[in-house]
Amino acid sequence: MEIGIVSREVVRPSSLNVHLLKPFKISLLDQLTPTTFAPLVLFYPMKSTHLKGTQISTQLKESLSKTLEHFYPLAGRVRDNLIINDYDEGVPYIETRVNTHLLEFLQNRPMELLNQCLPYPPFSHQPNPHQVPQVAVQLNTFDCGGIALGLSFSHKINDGATTSAFLRSWAANSRGAYHKAVKYKNLSEASMIFPPQNPSPNHHLSVMEKIWFREAKYKTRRFVFDAKAIATLRSECKGKGVPNPTRIEALSAFILKSAMLASRSTASSRFVLHQAVNLRRLTEPRLSPCSVGNLFLWATAAYNMEHAAEMELHGLVARMKQAVGKINSEYLKTLHGDEGFPKVCEYIKRIEDVSAHKNLEAFTFSSWVKFGFNEVDFGWGNPIWSGIFGEVGSNSFRNLTFFKETRSANYDNAVEAWVTLDEKIMSVLEHDPQFLAFASPNPSILLFDVCRF
């Protein structure tokens, strides 16, 4: 399969008034977030539309331009790790042709091909933040007319909730449902609660970069957990302090334990779990889902090798819930305002200290199951499948797992786990019969909509 670039251009906000807006202040949490690209690829068969290739691209570009009127920070560039301005820099927009049919592409379980559908490498450290766009688009058109919309979102100001709000708004503008497009006026409320520091706290950013990224060889694999496997794991996770574990808690604990056991072939003797916690529902008053920025903190729990061998799943979940529970409304109040900066520094120091062990392996978990990425309708129906990425580079976000829902006809109410691990750990995990008793490795993408092509 070959993907050839047809054109490159830049999409800018449709209104000239955007360029007159004041610089957008990023929040303190954004200042402490390293610059890397979070990926997403949405697949559409395009059988329910009369639009042709050029019309599809025109509709996407025009609606993107309109969406950037409201989400104007996503058109700009970060300056001095303090603000975003230069909104006329815009969004890179690439068009490609793929010399195969979408059905054939999906039937071949395209993990290793997904990165070719993306405008930027996923989760690699970007050393020049001032040059990085906040979002980039790649429209990949297959021989059959189907498309894969590849998206790269800079994590500097985009977390999962920001990405979801932006995509819902763009899709609504594309299909003409303008009343459903986001019109939230206070995009910058994150910086009001967590004001940026001037000068920028570059030392603390450097600490976070060392925690996020590590030079190593990684492998990414997609595992699907069906409803029966999830129910069994949730039952095994029940215990003292864990009366009703969620599916994400159960899956996180199971993958964590399996990965720790797989690490016995390495020198690792201590493990750290980092679990992303969405802050929007915890602030008082609640922040809007449309707030732009990284409104999450890492809940952190440490484990030793003996925990991997001896601790039951409910014990892992209990320790995980204890860590997550510490990030609550009362704790967040101590981080608010300029006076909250010392407390944020303490938070960074705790993560640094727990990550300083010589033979440490860190595992990070993030759930995308409620962000609605399988329901992004630009006017030609929901995507038949959404992928994340294939492989990451050598200097990338270490040992990262994403959870997302799947629309597979064979896996109703299933959850996909996109697991990136050090290749030595993954080579053990992907052949572990106890792990594979629950996890299906990269099963065929058999969807009702695809099969009708």
Active site residues: 155, 377
Amino acid found at 140: N
Q: Which residue has the tokens 């490498």?
A: 121
* Coil/strand/helix, residue 272: strand
Alpha-carbon distances, residue 298 vs 278, 327, 346 (angstroms): 9, 9, 13
- Whether the CA torsion 187, 192, 194, 195 is positive or negative: it is positive
Strands 218-225 and 440-441: antiparallel
Is residue 323 within 8 A of residue 303, CB to CB? The reply is no
CA dihedral 174→180→183→184, nearest 10 degrees, is: -130
Q: Residue 256, SS3?
A: helix
Count CB-CB contacts under 10 A for residue 339: 9
Residue 389, burial from CB neighbour count under 10 angstroms (0-12, 13-18, 19+): buried
Closest to 13 in 3D by CA, of 93, 74, 84, 102: 74
Distance CA 379, CA 34 (A): 35
List the structure tokens of 68: 């950037």
Question: ∠ CA(192), CA(197), CA(203), 5° rounding?
Answer: 140
Distance of CA 224 to the CA centre of its chain: 18
Q: State the DSSP string of 288-343.
A: PTT--B--EEEEEEEEEHHHHHH--HHHHHHHHHHHHHTSSHHHHHTTSSGGGHHH
